[in-house]
Chain A
Amino acid sequence: MSGVNDFAFKMATVNGTGSASANSLLMQAIFRMGIPVTGKNLFPSNIQGLPTWYEIRVNADGWTARPEQVDLVVTLNPATYAKDVANVRPGGYLLYDSSWPLEADLIREGITIIGIPFGKMCVNAFERDRDRTLLRNIVYAGALAALFEIDMDVIHEMLTEKFSKKKSLLDANFTAIRLGYDYAKANFTCPLPFHLKRLDKTKDFIIIDGNSAAALGALYAGATVGAWYPITPSTSLMEAFTAFCKKFRVDKGTGLNNFCILQAEDELSAAGITIGAGWAGARAFTNTSGPGISLMQEFIGLAYYTEIPAVFFDVQRVGPSTGMPTRTQQADLMSLAYASHGDTKHIVLFPANPEECFYLSVEAFNLAERFQTPVFVASDLDIGMNDWMCQRLEWDDNYKPDRGKVLDATELEQVKKFSRYLDVDGDGIPARTLPGVHPNGAYFVRGSGHDKFGAYTEDSDAYQEVLDRLTRKFESAKKVVPAPEIHLQNSAHIGIVSLGGCHAAVMEAVHNLRERGIVADYMRIKAFPFDSPVKDFIDSHEVTFVVEQNRDAQLRALLAIELGVPRDNMTAVLNYGGMPLTSRIVVDAVAKHLEGVAV
């Protein structure tokens, strides 16, 4: 049940009307009041005119998953009235623009309807059409500030920070916020039963999106070459990397760049650039989404077989085909794990939130160079593009990049004959050289069949020998990739397995299930390949649920293929309509299944 510091509300608007800044203003103000908060932008694949929503969840306990229903909705888009009204919980509120008569679509029994003439107020207060449209959003923010008791000092402080250099804009925003605030105060009982009360729970936190955090990871890991082709929802990753590089990587003396970012003609080229740069010795990456991963397949196989480090960020969206570019999913798991034709297996990392996007991004560059192979960071639209409350990011100044086995000029001086693919150390990882370093290090990279010396071969045994070593290398990686995060409760017979962006909802679900008397352990997988603890967890539970956001239960399939766990021993809990997972989906699925099974 909702209450003080525990409720959700949402703004339904038309995209392109400037609601984004008002929405983030609200979310950030709540955050600055010390109250845990998350915001989810549910937007169309469009520039102007289609429905968009922004959902804000306030929760003192820090639950951040998307709510199933909201306590209040602001309906500013006639096209979605029916859907928006239906989304309000019984006893909730609806806020509409009463400049026009109340439409029948908005009327519903059991909720309170509040009308504020946003449109009229803006026409009266502002001269220009543009201001009248844009500032309407600030007016509703003002009204919500009154209804939820958002600290107006905080809002003033934020507006001042934002518009300190544009006095006229600052004044207009102040006027607009007051218009809404004063109207609500004068006409309604403020605050509503559910509202805000200052806390001190966000001091060590930040609000950041996963793409920015991943870009920051690439910056800190020392990536110098970034190649990309614009694609939603990964575009903002390279945009953020570019901005960080401009801030931190421009040589002060010369104004020249210690980075090279190339916008390629397509994803194939972006992959080629990344691999070429990795071969030459740079930490390089590309960021893309499902369709891009499809296009990169052949190159991924090349990097795998020629053993070239490369980092790929896949900010997953709904597929196949174009799918729903602005909706979220985890449906690329299989196509990442085994990307490319032929026998291939890849390291894939699964960040659960922006904070992990940062740390796993750094880790991805280490793993790629250590294992001389492509590494994927499988984020998703919800993590990548939404604002999440996360722990402040930390950096250890003792960090040294793990460049793997790269022979330098001194070492090469001692080498009589360098052979690229010899497993000297028995861990499946051969030594590599970088072009231009030393005459003894020159070798010929070929995607065609090669033996352990790197020479062309069509000989079965010589070919197989290299392939088997690649398997050993992959085995070595199991012990090095991030271990699963395991949450155990006392004597639970039920195990829940999940990954990535499901985490927040699953954590909340585990908590809610316990309140219903269902005790479940939870394991969050952070990387592929899986090591023995993953199998042990599944084996040690009588009932295992695998929660993921795709239709075909791809994580479950991977677990079955790689660990030999019978597929039917794992019950799939799936969400694949494009909206982030809610805890309710997990709770209902688990409870329903258990009704039919005696535990």
Chain B
Amino acid sequence: MTSIAKPPVRHPGLHKNVLGFTQRDYEGAMSTLCAGCGHDSVTAALVQAAWELSLPPHRVAKMSGIGCSSKTTAYFMRQSHGFNSVHGRMPSVTSGANAANRNLTYIGISGDGDSLSIGLGQLCHVIRRNVRMLYVLDNNGVYGLTKGQFSASADIGSTSKKGEANVQPPIDPVLLALTLGATFVARSFSGDKAQLIPILKAGISHNGFALIDIISPCVTFNDHDGSTKSYKFTREHEVEISTADFVPLRREITVPETDAEMTAVTMHDGSTVRFRKTRDNYDPTDREAAYEHVRACQLRGEVATGLLFLDEHGSDMHAIAKTVPTPLVDVPFEQLCPGSAALQKLMGQYR
């Protein structure tokens, strides 16, 4: 993963968050992705979301696999721990890290190749395991690093740069996640920062696995006419079926709560996600309805975006495993080793 250090320019006028950090403190190395890549916009949104949430950078673990999207973990939060692992296997590495230390914030960055082809099994099972993490899926329908092959999210009929049309049906990560019981499912567009940032913040605060499928056009290999993951196509076909606003616990609520179109969901940490219903009386807490809406949009050729489903009552991996609240890495050895007296007593059972 190539990365270039940014010059340490300081602007005295930058705002500071409650930790005293400016947004610059949440940035990473200079991106080496193509100019105009949607992934860089996602990175920028993540920087802002993390800054706004005042996440202590060293308590964040940035996890990724392999691919253009996975490279971006180097481009934000340089003061955080990062783990660029194996293609399609970031979910298992994150599961293990989270099993060992449940108190870190895990941000996983993946792509459509990493998540929907080589890593489809791992994605499915990390959803089932409900590992507490933000899972960003930068979705551009194409393999960038190997120069333009279709990915498993490419739509039927969508054409490659060379003009070939894709004939295999796509895998939709949102429908997949809804089917598998994911407790936080969203879709956004890298070009829509206003929508993206609150969703990222809500995902980070979610008590479980939070999937955000982000249509993030590939300017080099998939931004031509005929592609259904281009900037133009996405702008023209994006339908926001729920507008979400995220209100962290510590921030004063300034927007009046009088709007009858607004639904509020309280997150486990006390923060709030507020939905503005945009059409069809969309209920983001109803899994079946969410599935139907997303599917209906798809059949109309529309891309449904917004926070599509949220359930704050699911049991995460640790609740399922009944793990102690102390991170396992902090449990003293004396509490883990039963000692010689217990062993000698146990030996009696083997006679």
Chain A positions near chain B (C-beta within 8 angstroms): 28, 31-32, 205-208, 216, 219-222, 224-225, 227, 248-249, 251, 254-262, 264-266, 268-282, 284, 298-299, 302, 392-397, 399-401, 434-439, 441-448, 455-456, 458
Contact = CB atoms under 8 A, between A and B. Distances in A.
B229 interface: no
A399 B337 contact: yes
A282 B329 contact: yes
Contact of A395 (B58, B95, B339): B339
Given A258-B331, A264-B125, A273-B92, A299 B86 contact: yes
Interface in B89-106: 89, 91-101, 103-104
6 contacts: A272-B89, A277-B97, A437-B58, A439-B56, A444-B81, A447-B85
Given A224-B100, A262-B99, A282-B329, A275 B343 contact: no
B95 A276 contact: yes
B1 interface: yes
Given A258-B331, A280-B101, A397-B339, A442 B80 contact: yes
A435 B101 contact: yes
Interface in B304-341: 317-318, 321-325, 328-329, 331, 333, 335-340
A590 B186 CA distance: 69
A448 B1 contact: yes
A426 to B, nearest CB: 27
Nearest to A286: B96
Given A278-B96, A299-B89, 14 more contacts: A256-B323, A257-B322, A257-B324, A268-B89, A274-B96, A275-B96, A276-B96, A276-B98, A392-B347, A394-B340, A435-B104, A436-B104, A439-B79, A445-B85
Contacts of A249: 336
Contact of B351 (A31, A266, A400, A436): A31
B100 A281 contact: yes
Contacts of A205: 351
A264 B121 CA distance: 11
B323 A257 contact: yes
B343 A394 contact: yes
B92 A272 contact: yes
B100 A456 contact: no
B121 A265 contact: yes
A394 B59 CA distance: 40
A275 B96 CA distance: 7
Given A258-B328, A442-B81, A220 B93 contact: no
A251 B86 CA distance: 35
Contacts of A442: 57-58, 78-82
B260 interface: no
A394 to B, nearest CB: 7
Contacts of A28: 351
Contacts of A276: 83, 92-100
A28 B125 CA distance: 43
A28 B336 CA distance: 31
A282 B99 contact: yes
B343 A393 contact: yes
Nearest to B62: A444
A277 B96 contact: yes
Contacts of A220: 337-338, 343
A446 B338 CA distance: 37
Contacts of A277: 96-97, 99-100
A249 B322 CA distance: 12
B207 to A, nearest CB: 17
Top 7 A-B pairs, shortest CB-CB distance: A276-B96, A272-B92, A282-B100, A273-B96, A280-B100, A206-B350, A276-B93
Given A260-B99, A448-B1, A273 B104 contact: no
A458 B3 CA distance: 12
Interface in B5-34: none
Given A257-B321, A265-B122, A279-B83, A248 B338 contact: yes
B81 A443 contact: yes
B328 A259 contact: yes
Contacts of A435: 58, 61, 81, 97, 101, 104
Contacts of B104: 280, 435-436
B318 A260 contact: yes
Given A224-B328, A397-B340, A439-B79, A281 B351 contact: no
A249 B92 CA distance: 24
A404 to B, nearest CB: 14
B74 interface: yes
A227 B122 CA distance: 14
B129 interface: yes
Contacts of B124: 265
B328 to A, nearest CB: 4
A445 B73 CA distance: 11
A269 B340 contact: no
B93 A447 contact: no
A400 B333 contact: yes
Contacts of A224: 100, 328-329, 331, 336
Contact of A434 (B103, B321, B329): B329
Contacts of B328: 224-225, 258-260, 282
Given A225-B96, A435-B61, A444-B74, A272 B85 contact: yes
Contacts of A254: 324
Contacts of B317: 260, 262
B135 to A, nearest CB: 15
Given A257-B321, A273-B99, A284-B100, A448 B84 contact: yes
B2 interface: yes
Contacts of A302: 85-86
Interface in B246-305: none
B327 to A, nearest CB: 8
Contacts of B340: 394-397
B35 interface: no
Contacts of A443: 81-82
Nearest to B128: A265
A420 to B, nearest CB: 11
A208 to B, nearest CB: 5
Nearest to A256: B324
A436 B81 contact: yes
Contacts of B125: 264-265, 269
A8 B325 CA distance: 53
Contacts of A275: 85, 93, 96
Nearest to A450: B1
A272 B96 contact: yes
B194 to A, nearest CB: 30
Contacts of A260: 99-100, 317-318, 321, 323, 328
Nearest to A224: B328
A32 B99 CA distance: 43
A69 to B, nearest CB: 29
Nearest to B332: A222
A254 B92 CA distance: 28
A266 B322 CA distance: 22
Contact of A269 (B58, B89, B97, B331): B89
Contacts of A32: 351
Candidate in B81, B91, B99, B338 with the most chain A CB atoms within 10 angstroms:
B99
A393 B339 CA distance: 12
Nearest to A204: B347
Candidate in A28, A224, A254 with the most chain B CB atoms within 10 angstroms:
A224
A279 B74 CA distance: 18
A281 to B, nearest CB: 4
B96 A284 contact: yes
A439 B58 contact: yes
B100 A262 contact: no
B331 A279 contact: no
A207 B91 CA distance: 40
B337 A222 contact: yes
A438 B99 contact: no
A452 to B, nearest CB: 17
Contacts of A400: 333
Interface string B66-77: 000000011000
Nearest to A446: B84
